[in-house]
């Protein structure tokens, strides 16, 4: 399970450090982590306040806007 989490986290770390552009792997990683976080929130209310950084939220909002157009 830990290996499955390391790759998406590493992809996002690279994006946040400016080492890679937003691409399909980055979007896929955020989507996977968001799904996992959503499941955690339904299992335990202690995770309710956990979320993504403002940078990741902005990146996803930009991606959603570009996809909608």
CB 24 within 8 A of CB 48: no
What is the predicted pLDDT for the residue at 65? Answer: 75
DSSP 3-state of 16: helix
- Calpha distance 29→20 (Å, rounded): 13
What is the predicted pLDDT for the residue at 66? Answer: 73
Taking alpha carbons only, the member of 31, 6, 26 closest to residue 16 is: 26
- Calpha distance 29→45 (Å, rounded): 24
pLDDT along the chain (69 residues), means of 10: 76 95 93 94 95 92 76
């Amino acid at each position: 399970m830990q290996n499955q989490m390391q790759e998406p986290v590493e992809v996002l770390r690279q994006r946040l450090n400016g080492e890679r552009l937003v691409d399909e792997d980055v979007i896929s990683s955020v989507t996977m982590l968001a799904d996992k976080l959503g499941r955690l929130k339904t299992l335990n209310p202690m995770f309710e306040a956990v979320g993504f950084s403002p940078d990741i939220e902005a990146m996803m909002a930009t991606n959603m806007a570009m996809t909608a157009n």
